[in-house]
Amino acid sequence: MAADPKILLILQALSARLAAIRDTDDAYHTDIGRYVQRGRHRLPAPPACAIYLDSQTVTAAAPARTLIEASIAVEAYSRFEDDEPEDVACRMLEDIRVAVESTDRTLGGLLHLGEQLGIAFEPGDITYPEDQDSIVGVRVVYTAPYIRKAD
């Protein structure tokens, strides 16, 4: 059986990092890692997060390999109850940043180290889901450059 595609391995590695976000750990403020879903589907009741491949762009190609930049989105939702919604959102953004960026930014060598040093954060957005009282969300996009070798 052939090995899993590299993009799948990247998504699995990032999912594992997001699953570590628990408010019982001193490194984190929220519990959004309690439920991590791969794919863009309806999430269960917060706290929860989703990770999915947003897009891919070929940035360089050669006969034996292709350099691809993947945009990987992370969406997270939490209740804010007695807190200010923006405070909760800022904590979620920080938790995602710490989980994804604080250790090896190449995800164990899966990502290409060119001018960009592994995975790169793009500014996040705060969202307020419609028809959802006391829930706030964030959306972050990471750029993940990787090399796909020819078969």
Q: Which domain CATH number covers 43?
A: 3.30.2000
> Which of these, 10, 25, 39, lies nearest to 100 by C-alpha position?
10
Residue 83 placed within a domain = yes
pLDDT in tens, 95-140: 999 999 888 888 888 887 666 667 888 878 998 887 778 899 999 9
The structural domain count of the chain equals 1
Q: Is the pTM of this model over 0.85?
A: yes
Per-state percent for the chain, helix, strand, coil, to nearest 5: 25, 40, 40
Helix (H, G, I), strand (E, B) or coil at 5: coil
Range of the domain at 40: 6-134+144-149
At residue 15, the pLDDT reads: 96
Residue 139 lies in a domain: no
> Between 151 and 47, whose confidence is greater?
47
